[in-house]
Amino acid sequence: MNMLLRPSPSQSALPLKSEGITNLSRRRFLGAGAGALVLGALLPALPHRALAQATANTVKPGTRIPAFLIVGRDNSFKLLSPFVEGGQGVSTGQAQMVGEELDVEPSRFVVECAPPGPDYAVIGGLRLTGGSFSTRSSYEVMRRLGATAREMFLRAAAARLDVPASELTTENGVVIHAASGRHVPYGEVAEAALALTPAENVPLRDPKTFRYIRQPLPRLDARDKSTGKAVYAIDQKLDGMLYAAVQHAPHLGTEPVSFANEAAVRAMPGVHGVHRLPGAVAVTADSWFRARKAVETLDVTWTRPEATGLKTVAADYSSEAMLAALKESKAAAVSAEKAGDAAAVFAAATRIVEAEYAAPYLAHAQLEPPSAMARFNPDGTLELWTPNQMPELFQSIAAKTAGLSPEKVILHSPILGGFFGRHFFYGAASPFPQAILLAKETGRPVKVLWSREEEFRMDALRPLSFTRFRAALGADGRPAALEARTVGEGPTGRYFGALFGGPVDGSAVEGLVEKPYAIADRSLDYVKLLHPVTIAFWRSVGHSMNDYFYEGFFDEVADAGGHDPFQLRLDLLKDRRRHLKLLQTVADLSGGWKRGPFDAEGGRRARGVAMASPFGSETATIAEVSLADGQVRVHDIWIAFDPGSIVNPGIIRSQVESAAALGVSTALFEEMVYADGVRQASNFDGYTILGRDHMPRIHVEIVESGEPMGGVGEPGLPGVVAAVVNAVAALTGRHIRTLPLSRTKFNA
Amino acid sequence: MIRININGRDYDVAAEPDTPLLWVLRDTLGLTGTKYGCGIAQCGACTVLVDGEATRSCQLALENVGSAHIRTIEAIEQDEVGRKLVEAWVEVQVPQCGYCQSGQIMAAAALLSQNPHPTDADIADAMTNLCRCGTYNRIAAAIHHAAA
Ligand code: FES
Ligand code: FES
């Protein structure tokens, strides 16, 4: 087992079991255990005093009940969640975990994303919504919080009723004294209860007695989201507010020089002002549509980009040239994983299989375009409403932008109209610094909204990626040794580099390393080659391409050795009970493994299988495809999903369906192409995402192995991409080594 | 001033005649249930009913609304079809991020008003709005549920 990225000793102090996080990069991520370090990495210019304050904080995250729970006198329950809801169902899960132990039905909670503060740093001293961390990292914490609060309500009610607490029980938010038939709703003693000193080590419920956890409870937000009542960042408005629309520099890194028609634009209806911003221009107006029309009319001269090269987004930058650079790199690699002696096996091998795999840049394409609303208040504070996955970090950067100290920034984190990794801080990919600068300049509250076109221009992208594989076949046709060399850059290295320090970027190699297959001799190398474009975390991160690469190549190896790919997986997993069970489960779910091709309604079809181990969960996936007009059609996806243990099986199912849909979307359609230094798609007409007409049936079976809880939001995706590609190989005999499949023309 | 009728109420709107109805709804009238996703008729997040027809409001200029009756998600529960759809959406647990769902429900409302028992093919024809969370199958299930 690769121990290059060894968990640091400080991890033992984390409020979660270290083995609960089995993901390579994530282990390191948590290992360093200090949000301040992350801030340091991202904000080299942040004054040391602010960092010192952050580290000196003595609050133990997840323990101060009043920071999380607001109980009204009317017995209403509000939960301030460390996490932001963006479709993944985390708010409902938090209510289940707290409600279970507090003894309050989860449907009674109103859940909001908590403001910035040290109480909410429940992921190893860090706070973020991402990495499929939320539920698994907070499971113990939130249950304990609920149990501790319940004990306080019992004590407060005991004082009120003048009986020993041992004579009291609770039922759905009410303390009951059975002997006297008296009832005290939590709300009636909330003030007294929450002022008590919390008891240590309040026992948690025996999971056998769970009523809410492990149940497919309905989402708390389903009705508001079905009636238009849910409020997103884009929906918010302030008195006296100006609307702002922007036009970004055509080439990332260039700046506005001059405007040819400023007077004419200023004279357009409703226009308040024309503004320069870093890398952009803006118009403020009394409505967004007017602002947008005006800013698009503005005739801007920009500085010139570099003429050529890959260090910046140069005038001739292209994704094709970048891919060629990844392929041609001769740079010395560092080892991401090594076992046995692959070189010796290759030297003696008689049969070697080789392949190069590539995957394109991808946009998040969440349906809500980014926006930000900023207001400087008379008391000297700045109030900011903007989508974000990391409130404390956004607060710090907002403070720096505004020239204030962080505690003077009041940050609101509204629900997200989809995110998939979109709302981490990626520099110029976030609109909130623009809102702050414009509010400062105009002296008015300002709401910046990016048009879809500006969003496609500025979104941070899943990096374009490349891996070269070699496998040596043994006499039995099975892989005896495997080598991979992956070249590129991952978001963890770029944005959290100082936290990790190591030479291997986990987010670039995850999905290639720590595979469960019994291949004794292997060597996986990484070469860091920086992208000039803004790169991002994107649903399932490195797994989103690497599991496709690895599992696609696996089927090439199986075919070369004359083995059925499903059987070869069984053979190489024979000591892995968890994986075997999943493979068997997905085969059964699909009616028994059959690769095909076989005849079906509308023509020949075939199936492909793939495994993946993302974010502490395990998946086995089968896809069935056919060809129509030379293009791939996906009919069915079967997924056996093992997240170890579960909180809400209904939400897990939804998340796996959603991840599968995104997987199909990227397998078939998605790529963000650069040519001449600019992105070639500016809206959904140029960047195709999966629509209903290509949506397959999706069948999910949840397997609870009882292993430590893994992630849920992302892990369903990577196996789908590989299973689809492997099904195409079964149908056509062609192993497609680059995505999307729509680039390849197939003969029907 | 241009007079338009939204959810049974007349409004006099002071905006340029070419302003898309979407922005009149959202920014002028504060009816933010109708969403902006693309502005070019690709996504359907802005779908409203114009005399009962599902219409992408980012493509309908204020000057072309005329005397049409516009219905938005804010009025979805004011008739039987709408109420059933909302119940079905909750029952089937359709929404994830929810951002596309106002448009999806309005498209479904138009479909069910014209075709109370749609087949899968009818749903495929009528329901062309994008959902980045991939809720398409649940949307279809919810429409069948509401039609039952
Ligand atoms: S916003 Fe109208 S179709 Fe997308
Ligand atoms: S529910 Fe998120 S876009 Fe449809």
Decide if A369 and B36 are in contact by the 8 Å CB cutoff: yes
B17 near B61, Cβ under 8 Å? Answer: yes
Q: With beta carbons under 8 A apart, name residues in chain A contacting B86.
A: 223, 226-227
Q: Stretch A190-206: mean pLDDT, rounded? A: 95
CATH placement of domain A233-304+370-449: 3.30.365.10
Task: Render pLDDT for A644-685 as a digit per residue (tens, 0 to 9).
Answer: 999 999 999 999 999 999 999 999 999 999 999 999 999 999
Instruction: For residue A233, give how far its alpha carbon lies from the nearest alpha carbon of chain B (Å).
Output: 11
Ligand 2 atom at shortest distance from the alpha carbon of A225: 1
Indicate the pLDDT class of residue A748, thresholds 50, 70 and 90.
low
Decide if B76 and A690 are in contact by the 8 Å CB cutoff: no
**Residue found by looking up tokens 């870093």 in the block:** A278
- What pLDDT score was predicted for residue B76? 98
Q: Stretch A296-319: mean pLDDT, rounded? A: 97
Q: How far is the CA of A456 from the centre of ligand 1 (A)?
A: 15
- What pLDDT score was predicted for residue A150? 98
DSSP A674-705: EETTEES--STTTS----GGGPPEEEEEE---
Percentage of chain A modeled with pLDDT above 70: 92
Q: With beta carbons under 8 A apart, name residues in chain B contacting A228.
A: 32-34, 72-74, 76, 102
Q: Which ligand is nearest to the CA of B55?
A: 1
A-to-B residue pairs, Cβ atoms closer than 8 angstroms: 165
Phi and psi torsions of A397, nearest 5°: -70, -35
- What pLDDT score was predicted for residue A452? 98
Task: Render pLDDT for A102-117 as a digit per residue (tens, 0 to 9).
Answer: 999 999 999 999 999 9
According to DSSP, the residues that pair with B55 across neighbouring strands are B48
Q: Report the chain B residue with the minimal C-alpha distance to residue A653.
A: B93
Q: Stretch A336-354: mean pLDDT, rounded? A: 97
What is the second-level CATH architecture of the domain A65-225?
A: 2-Layer Sandwich (3.30)
Give me the domains of chain B, ranges plus CATH numbers: 2-74 (3.10.20.30), 76-147 (1.10.150.120)
- Atom 3 of ligand 1: nearest residue by CA position: B41
Is the overall model pTM greater than 0.95, yes or no?
A: no
Crossing angle for the helix pair A134-161 and A90-102, to the nearest 10 degrees? 30
Please return the burial class of A47, using the count of CB atoms within 10 Å of its CB with bins 0-12, 13-18 and 19+: exposed
Q: What is the C-alpha to C-alpha distance for residues B131 and A692, in angstroms, rounded to an integer?
A: 8
Q: Stretch A15-26: mean pLDDT, rounded? A: 30
Q: What is the C-alpha to C-alpha distance for residues A24 and A30, in angstroms, rounded to an integer?
A: 10
Q: How far is the CA of A469 from the centre of ligand 2 (A)?
A: 37
For ligand 2, mutation pick of B135, B136, B137 (most atoms within 8 Å of CB) = B135
Decide if B98 and A683 are in contact by the 8 Å CB cutoff: no
Q: With beta carbons under 8 A apart, name residues in chain A contacting B96.
A: 87-89, 418, 654-655, 658
Task: Render pLDDT for A237-263 as a digit per residue (tens, 0 to 9).
Answer: 999 999 999 999 999 999 999 999 999
Q: Stretch A149-176: mean pLDDT, rounded? A: 98
Q: Which ligand is nearest to the CA of A662?
A: 2
Ligand 1 atom at shortest distance from the alpha carbon of B39: 1
- What pLDDT score was predicted for residue A15? 25
Sheet architecture: strand order including A631-642 = A598-600, A603-612, A618-628, A631-642, A697-702
Q: What is the C-alpha to C-alpha distance for residues B25 and B6, in angstroms, rounded to an integer?
A: 9
- What pLDDT score was predicted for residue A364? 98
Q: Stretch A563-576: mean pLDDT, rounded? A: 98
Q: Please enumerate in sequence order all residues whose Cβ is within 8 A of that of A146, keeping only pairs 6 or more positions apart, or say none.
A: A97, A98, A99, A100, A101, A102
Q: With beta carbons under 8 A apart, name residues in chain B contacting A222.
A: 89-90, 93-95
Q: Which of A431, A426, A514, A416 is nearest to A463 (CA)?
A: A426
Task: Render pLDDT for A408-464 as a digit per residue (tens, 0 to 9).
Answer: 999 999 999 999 999 999 999 999 999 999 999 999 999 999 999 999 999 999 999
Decide if B96 and A89 are in contact by the 8 Å CB cutoff: yes
Q: Report the chain B residue with the minimal C-alpha distance to residue A86.
A: B97
A237 near A447, Cβ under 8 Å? Answer: yes
**Residue found by looking up tokens 């009149």 in the block:** B24
Decide if B23 and A86 are in contact by the 8 Å CB cutoff: no
Decide if B45 and A665 are in contact by the 8 Å CB cutoff: no
* Overall CATH class of domain A320-361+462-743: alpha beta
Phi and psi torsions of B138, nearest 5°: -70, -35
Indicate the pLDDT class of residue A37, thresholds 50, 70 and 90.
very low
Decide if B74 and A228 are in contact by the 8 Å CB cutoff: yes
Same fold, A65-225 and A320-361+462-743: yes
Decide if A658 and B40 are in contact by the 8 Å CB cutoff: no
Q: With beta carbons under 8 A apart, name residues in chain B contacting A451.
A: 39
Decide if B95 and A695 are in contact by the 8 Å CB cutoff: no
Residue A427, classed as helix, strand or coil, is helix
Residues framing ligand 2 (Cβ under 6 A)? A 87, 367, 418; B 95-101, 131-133, 135
Q: Please enumerate in sequence order all residues whose Cβ is within 8 A of that of A493, keeping only pairs 6 or more positions apart, or say none.
A: A500, A505, A507, A508, A528
Please return the burial class of A460, using the count of CB atoms within 10 Å of its CB with bins 0-12, 13-18 and 19+: buried
For ligand 2, mutation pick of B42, B94, B101 (most atoms within 8 Å of CB) = B101
Decide if A367 and B100 are in contact by the 8 Å CB cutoff: yes
Q: With beta carbons under 8 A apart, name residues in chain B contacting A689.
A: 130, 132
- What pLDDT score was predicted for residue A195? 94
Q: With beta carbons under 8 A apart, name residues in chain A contacting B34.
A: 228
Which residues numbered 4-33 in B keep a CB inside 8 Å of some CB on A? Answer: 15-16, 19-20, 23, 26-28, 30, 32-33
Residue B145, classed as helix, strand or coil, is helix
Q: How far is the CA of A448 from the centre of ligand 2 (A)?
A: 22
Q: Stretch A394-400: mean pLDDT, rounded? A: 97
A682 near A457, Cβ under 8 Å? Answer: yes
Q: With beta carbons under 8 A apart, name residues in chain A contacting B131.
A: 367
Dig out the tokens for A132 from the structure: 């499929």
List the single residue in A230, A650, A655 with the smallest CB-CB distance to B98. A230
Domain boundaries in chain A?
A: 65-225, 233-304+370-449, 320-361+462-743
A232 near A415, Cβ under 8 Å? Answer: yes
Q: Is the pLDDT of residue A288 over 80?
A: yes
For ligand 1, mutation pick of B21, B23, B27, B46 (most atoms within 8 Å of CB) = B46
**Residue found by looking up tokens 């996986």 in the block:** A524
Supply the DSSP symbol for A66.
G
Decide if B76 and A228 are in contact by the 8 Å CB cutoff: yes
- What pLDDT score was predicted for residue A123? 87
- What pLDDT score was predicted for residue A496? 87
According to DSSP, the residues that pair with A482 across neighbouring strands are A471, A522
Percentage of chain A modeled with pLDDT above 90: 89
List the single residue in B73, B77, B134 with the smallest CB-CB distance to A657. B134
